[in-house]
Amino acid sequence: MSELNQNIPPRILIVSNRLPVQITMVKGKLDVKQSIGGLATGMHPVHETYETLWIGWSGFSRSHFASGKLKTINNAYRAQDCLPVYLDESMATDYYDGFSNGTIWPLFHYFAQYTKYQPDYWDAYLKVNRIFAEKVKKEYRPGDLIWIHDYHLLVLPRMVRELIPEADIGFFLHIPFPSFEVFRLLPWRKELVEGLVGSDLIGFHTFDYTRHFLSTVRRLLGYDIDLNRIQTGSRLVRTEVFPMGIDYRKYQNASLRLEKIPEKKKSKLKQQISQYFSQAPERKLILSIDRLDYTKGIPNRLVAFEKFLEKYPEFQGKVTMLMIATPTRDNVAYYQQIKRTVDELVGRINGQFSQINWTPIWYFYRSFTFNQLIELYRSCHVALITPVRDGMNLVAKEYLASRIDQSGVLILSEMAGAARELSEALIINPNHPEEIAGAIAQALTMPLEEQAERLSLMQTRLKRYQVNKWASDFIEAVMKTREMKKQSRTKILNESIMKKILAEYHRNKQATLFLDYDGTLVQFKKNPDHARPDPGILKLLNQIADDPGNRLVLISGRDRNTLENWFSRHPFYLIAEHGAWLKEPDTPWTQMEPISREWKEVIRPVMEFYADRTPGSFVEEKTFSLAWHYRKSDPELGAIRAIELKDELTSMAGGHNLEILEGSKVIEIKNSGINKGRAANWFLSQHPEGFVLAIGDDWTDEYMFELLPHKSYTIKVGSNPTKARYQIVNQNEVRNLLKNFIK
C-alpha cells in the first residue's frame, strides 16, 4: 500500500462480530456468501492488503454442523484468513439481537425509547466477549496488532488487555458515541467505558463522537484528559478521529466499466431503467438505499417525498423514487415494526399518486449485487439519504464516486457522520419534511454546472481519503502508541534499577528524601481536607525518619497550617506552599524567600468571582499564594473555567511578578521564583548532601526533577511525560518503594 511507511505490523488480528464471508454447506457443497454492511465493505481492502487474520462469529453454533463438515468449513475459512467463532444459539440471540441490537444500537443512535435493559442480555454479552478474548489470546503472536471493531465488542479490549497485558490494541467504533446524557441511562455504563479504555487507541468517525466519549470517561471514571489522551494512571489511552472512506477507485472503475458495455449487452436492471426513461426522457430517478433500520429515517423520507409530490405537483408523473431496503436483523421486534410502517407508507403514497404509466415509488426489499448497486448509483439523478442518526454512511460516498459523468445531487441528513465531510451536499434535517421536499425540488432543478462543481469538490475529498488511507492511518496511529509505550517502559522503575538505587542509598551515610504529599503518598480526594494521612503512611514515614541518617522532607503546595496540623508531631521536615516556608522538626516555620503579598487584594476578587460561578469550586488562601480548586465541580465546566481563569490571571500577573501554576484540578497563583526545585536545592545547601531521592506526581514537582543535582534519583508517579529519571504507576507502588528505606 503506497501510503504506508515502514511502520507496518507483521500481522493484524481483525476482530469483529461477523466475518467478511459466511461459509456454509449446501447440498454437500461449500457455499460462500459475502457479508453486506459498512464494516465488511470498508475493511475488505485491509484484509486483502495486509497480512491479517479475521476473527468473527460465523453466524452459527458448532452443533449446527456435523463434525466432518465443520472441519471442511473451518478449512475454507482459514483459506480466506478467517477464523470463525461458534456461539450457542440462545447465547448468540441474547448477545446479538439482545444486548448489541436491542440495547446498544438503539441507545447509541438516540432511540432511548427502544432500549432494552435486560440483565440476561448483558450476561450473554459479557460471555461472548469473553469467548472472543480467549480466541484472540490463543491466536496472538508477539508483534501482532489487534484491531477490534464496533459496538458488539465494547468490553473486549479490556478482556484482551487482562490476558495479554503487552498487546497493542486499537478499537474502532462504526456507530455514533452518544452524548453522556444519553449514555448514562445504561446500567452497565461504567463497565462499557472501562472495557473500551483497555485499548491503546480508540477511533471514531467524527470529532463529536470523540468529544462525547471523552466527556463520558471524565465523568464516569474520573481520569484526567489532556486533549485526546486519557491518563488512566498506569497507561495512556489515545482517541482519534478517522472518518472512514470508501475504496473510491473500485466504484469509479466499476462505473466506467458499466458505461462501456454496449446497449444490447447491458444488464436486465439497466434495460428496465432505460425503458423507464424512454417513455419520457425528462423523467428523473431518486435513489434511496439502506438496510431497513429505524435509524436510517426511511419513514421520514417517504413522508417528505409525499410532501414533495403535493407541494410540487408539476413533478408528478416525472419523478420516481427507487427505494431499496435491505433486510436486516429481522429477529428484533422493532425491525418488524419498521418494515410494516414502511410497507404501509409506500402503499399509501403509491395508492394516492400512481398513474397508469407512472409509479411514484419502486420499492425493493432485498439485496443487490455490487454491479447492480453501481448501475443504480449511475442511473439516479438524486440520492436521498436521510438517517435520523448514522455513524458515517458509506452509501452517500459510494454514490458520489460512481457519478463519473459529473452530474447528480446528494441530499444528506446532517445526522450522518458523512455530513461533516460532504458539506457541498444539500444538507437537511431529517425531521423536517418541508425542508427535505424543498431540497428534492432544488436537486431536480439544479443546473448541471452547479452539480458538477459540488460533485467535484466532494469527489476530490473522497479520493484523498480513501478507505486504505483510513486503515493505514489507524494502523500507524496504533504503531505510534506502541512506540510511545516502548519509550515510557524505559523509564519504568524496574527491579534492577531499584537495586541500583538501594545500593547507592546504603553506600551513603546521609540521605534526603523529598516527598510530595497529595497524589504521591495519598490519593486525591474531592475535598482536600479529607486527604488526611492514614495510620499506615504515618507509620511508614516515621520508620524512615527515625533513622538519624535519613532526612525526610515533605514538600507540598499545601499551606503551613495544614501541614503543621497533620505532621508537626512527627520528626519530618516540612516545606509548604511550593517552597515559601520551611519547618525543621521541633522548630518554628521560617520563610524561605522574602516576598510581597499586596497583589492578593487584586487577585482574590477575581478568583472569588470564578468560585461563585462554578458550583463545587472554592478559593484557598495561603500565605503567599491563592489557589482555585475545582475537583468537585462538573468536570467539563471546571475545565472550561480553568482555561478562562488562567487567561485572566495571565493578563493580570505581569505587573506583579507572579506565576500561575496549573496543578491537578487547581489553578494557583503565587510570587514567581518560588518553586519546589529552588526550595529543595536551598535545603540541600543547608544540609550535608548525600543520597537524594525525590518523588512527586504533578507538574509543580517537575521543578524538583529539573533543578535537583544530576545524581539525584527523581521519580514521577503516573505515566505523563516527565523530566524525572524514572516513573512509577501509583501511590501504592510509592508506599512499597518507601518500605525499602527503613533501615
CB neighbour list of residue 586: distance below 8 Å, 6 or more residues apart: none
The single-letter code of the amino acid at 114 is Y
Cβ of residue 398: shortest distance to ligand ADQ, in angstroms?
5
- Find out whether 351 and 297 touch, Cβ atoms under 8 Å: no
CB of 203 to ligand ADQ, least distance (A): 10
Q: Is 269 in the site for ligand ADQ (CB under 6 A)?
A: no
Looking at the Cβ atoms of 293 and 668, the one nearer to ligand ADQ is 293
Using the minimum distance from each CB to ligand ADQ, give the nearer residue, 393 or 714.
393
H helical segments located in 204-267? 207-221, 248-260
Would you count residue 287 as binding ligand ADQ (CB under 6 A)?
Answer: no
Distance CA 331, CA 333 (A): 6
Closest CA to 105 of 154, 156, 171: 154
638 binds ligand ADQ, rule: CB under 6 A: no
Q: Does 241 bind ligand ADQ (CB under 6 A)?
A: no
Closest-by-Cβ residue to ligand ADQ is 38
What is the Cα–Cα distance from 416 to 180, expressed in whole angstroms?
19
Can you tell me the distance from the alpha carbon of 728 to that of 250, in angstroms, rounded to the nearest whole number? 50
Tell me the closest approach of the beta carbon of residue 356 to ligand ADQ, in angstroms: 29
Q: Which is nearer to ligand ADQ, 302 or 513 (CB)?
A: 302
Catalytic annotation on 698? no
| Cβ distance to ligand ADQ smaller for residue 102 or 638 | 102
394 binds ligand ADQ (CB under 6 A): yes
Residues numbered 155 to 184 that lie near ligand ADQ (CB under 6 A) are 174-175
Q: What residues contact residue 126 under an 8 Å CB cut-off, 6+ apart?
A: 155
Count residues near ligand ADQ (CB under 6 A). Answer: 23
Q: What SS3 state is found at 617?
A: coil
Does 42 sit near ligand ADQ (CB under 6 A)?
Answer: yes
Instruction: State the DSSP H helix or E strand holding residue 53, giving kind and residue range, or none if neither.
Output: strand 52-57
16, 17, 22, 41: which one binds ligand ADQ (CB under 6 A): 41
- How far apart are CB 419 and ligand ADQ at their closest, in Å? 11
Asked if residues 695 and 720 have their Cβ atoms less than 8 Å apart, the reply is no
Q: How far is CA 479 from the centre of its chain?
A: 17
Neighbours of 112 (CB within 10 A): 13
**Which one of residues 14, 15, 39, 693 is an interface residue with ligand ADQ (CB under 6 A)?**
39
Q: How far is the CB of 406 from ligand ADQ (least distance, A)?
A: 21
Contacts of 652 (CB under 8 A, 6+ apart): 602, 603, 606, 658
Alpha-helical (H) ranges within 222-247 are: none
Listed residue (667, 655, 662, 640) closest to 602, CA to CA:
655
How do beta strands 511-515 and 145-149 pair? unpaired
Q: Which amino acid is at 190?
A: K
Query: To the nearest whole angstrom, how small is the minimum distance from the Cβ of residue 297 to ligand ADQ?
Result: 12
Among 24, 228, 253, 367, binds ligand ADQ (CB under 6 A): 367
Residues in the chain, how many?
743
Q: What is the 3-state secondary structure (H, E, C) of 628-670?
A: EECCCCCHHHHHHHHHHHHHHHHHHHHHHCEEEEEECCEEEEE
- Single out the residue of 53, 244, 298, 717 in contact with ligand ADQ (rule: CB under 6 A): 244
- 267 interacts with ligand ADQ by CB under 6 A: no
Interaction of residue 391 with ligand ADQ, rule CB under 6 A: yes
Among 237, 392, 455, 666, binds ligand ADQ (CB under 6 A): 392
Site for ligand ADQ in 316-355 (CB under 6 A): 324, 326
Among 19, 182, 395, 667, binds ligand ADQ (CB under 6 A): 395
Site membership for ligand ADQ, residue 240 (CB under 6 A): no
- Interface with ligand ADQ includes 38 (CB under 6 A)? yes
> Which residue stretch of 367-375, 429-437, 633-641, 711-719 sits at the interface with ligand ADQ (rule: CB under 6 A)?
367-375
The piece of 69-77, 215-223, 385-393, 705-713 that touches ligand ADQ (CB under 6 A) is 385-393
Which three three-digit cell numbers place residue 301? 423520507
Burial (Cβ within 10 Å: 0-12, 13-18, ≥19) of residue 576: buried
- Residue 48 C-beta: closest distance to ligand ADQ, Å: 16
Give the DSSP letter of residue 120: H
Q: Which of 240, 390, 421, 424 binds ligand ADQ (CB under 6 A)?
A: 390
Helix (H) or strand (E) holding 717: strand 713-717
H-helix or E-strand containing 594?
none
Q: For residues 396 and 404, which CB has a smaller minimum distance to ligand ADQ in the complex?
A: 396
Q: CA of 233: how far to CAs of 197, 224, 520, 720, in Å?
A: 12, 9, 12, 9
Nearer CB in complex with ligand ADQ: 197/322: 322
Q: Is 430 in the site for ligand ADQ (CB under 6 A)?
A: no
Name the minimum Å distance from CB 111 to ligand ADQ.
13
Instruction: Identify the residue among 11, 24, 25, 37 touching ligand ADQ (CB under 6 A).
Output: 37
Residue 76 or 392: the one with the smaller Cβ distance to ligand ADQ is 392
Q: Which of residues 104-143 bind ligand ADQ (CB under 6 A)?
A: none
CA–CA gap between residue 214 and residue 224 (Å, rounded): 10
At closest approach, how far in Å is the CB of 327 from ligand ADQ? 9
List the one residue from 82, 87, 287, 289 that touches ligand ADQ (CB under 6 A).
Answer: 289
Catalytic hit among 94, 247, 390, 516:
516
Choose between 34 and 445: whose C-beta lies nearer to ligand ADQ: 34
Residue 510 cell numbers, joined: 546521609
Buried b vs exposed e over 632-654: b needs ≥16 C-beta within 10 Å? bbbbeebbebbeebbeebeebbe
Told to check if 389 binds ligand ADQ by CB under 6 A, we report no
Closer CB to ligand ADQ, residue 253 or residue 510?
A: 253
Please say which residue, 38 or 519, places its beta carbon nearer to ligand ADQ: 38
Torsion of CA 16, 18, 21, 26, to 10 degrees: 150
- Provide, rounded to whole angstroms, the least separation between the CB of residue 173 and ligand ADQ: 9
* Residue among 150 and 698 whose Cβ is closer to ligand ADQ: 150
Q: What are the catalytic residues?
A: 516
- Contact residues toward ligand ADQ (CB under 6 A) are 36-39, 41-42, 174-175, 244, 289, 291, 324, 326, 367-368, 373, 390-395, 398
